[in-house]
Amino acid sequence: MTNLSPAASPHADRKLEVVYKAPGELVPDPRNARTHSKRQVEQIVSSMRAFGFTNPILADLDGNLIAGHGRLRAAKEMGLQRVPVITLDGLSEPQKKALRLADNKIALNAGWDTEILKLELAELSLPEIDFDLSLTGFSSGEIDVVLSGAEDPDDEVIPAVPESPRVQLGDIWQLGEHRVACGDGRDVAFLQRLVGEGETIDCAFLDPPYNVKINGHANAKGRHREFAMASGEMTETEFRTFLADTLGACAKVSRDGAVHFVCMDWRHMDDVTASVCDIYDDLLNICVWNKSNAGMGSLYRSKHEMVFVYRVGSAPHTNTVELGKHGRNRTNVWDYSLKQALAEAGMTIEEGTL
């Protein structure tokens, strides 16, 4: 059993002193395992501008960083001449390595009380407070989802991943007339295997990730796992490249005149339009999915999702709606709940296929 009393370690009751040093006096660890995206460094910069340098950097006697690599990068971008530093002496090299890992990992092991989190964000979002919610570290998308607290339908509950999953990348299943595959949507060769050699797609209903982190933010009950990528870690440029690669790959296995429905939230509309300039020939429409539940949001309650309707190539696209000819009167505003989403997607695909 580990002894947690102060006397158990000569470092437990160490007196700490904050000194100010020039950023150039500090040496980042070349083997620092913690990564810092440009987006996260920008968040640190914003936090420092709003609240100050509230968390000193940890370094050894020689100025080698133990903790605070992201803060140091942010300080350099801000042009700070001095940064607060706590010098830790008496640690062995293995202890320094372990502390570098523990300083990040132990914080990640914490969770959120979702009800309290919802209350705190709701108070900060009140118009009379006029507070920049991005300073909390949560994106606007994460805040909307936390505040909405909307329940997913029961059939969306995803079981835990087994220790030895049967499904492998590249697997394709034939289910009657249908095929289901597990793979990378950017891989044109894989998509062609799914569609069939020599075959093309008439219509695609695409719902790429929104580059918003899920775990601990976008889903309070842990029903959804993180996306393999574009789950909040990408910069704007990286996310747009990701969209161009995924949507472009699907377009390459689509016929001339195929229709693509591309889902996206309102915050990333510009990312979609900037990514598809060389992929699609025409924007046919933008549909609005008017959801049954709304989040509180930071200004207006978010209750919709955008669905871009694009045509691949220049050939005429298929139109089976024919504006009421067969008693159908479809508009570009779709009113349906989460539980109706699957049926609505199926109807939409039928309208764009032969």
Per-residue pLDDT of the chain (354 residues; tens, 9 = 90+): 445 444 456 667 778 999 999 999 999 999 999 999 888 999 999 999 999 999 999 999 999 999 999 999 999 999 999 999 999 998 999 999 999 999 989 988 888 898 899 999 988 988 788 888 889 998 776 787 787 664 444 445 566 777 788 888 899 999 988 899 999 999 999 999 999 999 999 999 998 887 766 554 444 444 455 556 756 678 889 999 999 999 999 999 999 999 999 999 888 899 999 999 999 999 999 999 887 766 555 567 778 889 999 999 999 887 765 555 544 567 888 876 555 455 556 556 666 554
- Report the distance separating Cα 74 and Cα 350, nearest Å: 51
Nearest residue to 253 (alpha-carbon basis) of 300, 348, 183, 301: 183
Residue type, 69: H
Given this model, what pLDDT does residue 61 score?
95
Q: How far is CA 17 from CA 29, 82, 103, in A?
A: 22, 15, 19
User: How many other CB atoms are found less than 10 A from the CB of residue 98?
Assistant: 12
Given this model, what pLDDT does residue 37 score?
87
User: CB–CB of 89/67 below 8 Å?
Assistant: no
Please enumerate in sequence order all residues whose Cβ is within 8 A of that of 147, keeping only pairs 6 or more positions apart, or say none.
118, 121, 122, 125, 295, 296, 297
Phi, psi angle pair for 286, to nearest 5°: -125, 115
- Report the distance separating Cα 318 and Cα 315, nearest Å: 9
- Report the distance separating Cα 216 and Cα 92, nearest Å: 35
The radius of gyration of the chain from alpha carbons, rounded to an integer in Å, stands at 25
Q: How far is CA 231 from CA 125, 139, 142, in A?
A: 24, 12, 11
- Report the distance separating Cα 308 and Cα 278, nearest Å: 15
- Report the distance separating Cα 108 and Cα 111, nearest Å: 8
- Report the distance separating Cα 232 and Cα 209, nearest Å: 9
> pTM of the full predicted structure?
0.52
Given this model, what pLDDT does residue 326 score?
47
Domain 147-161+201-351 annotated CATH 3.40.30.10: no
| Beta-bridge mates of residue 220 | none
Given this model, what pLDDT does residue 328 score?
54
What's the CATH architecture for 6-108? Alpha-Beta Complex (3.90)
**What does the domain layout of the chain look like in residue ranges?**
6-108, 147-161+201-351
Given this model, what pLDDT does residue 152 score?
46
DSSP code for 290: E
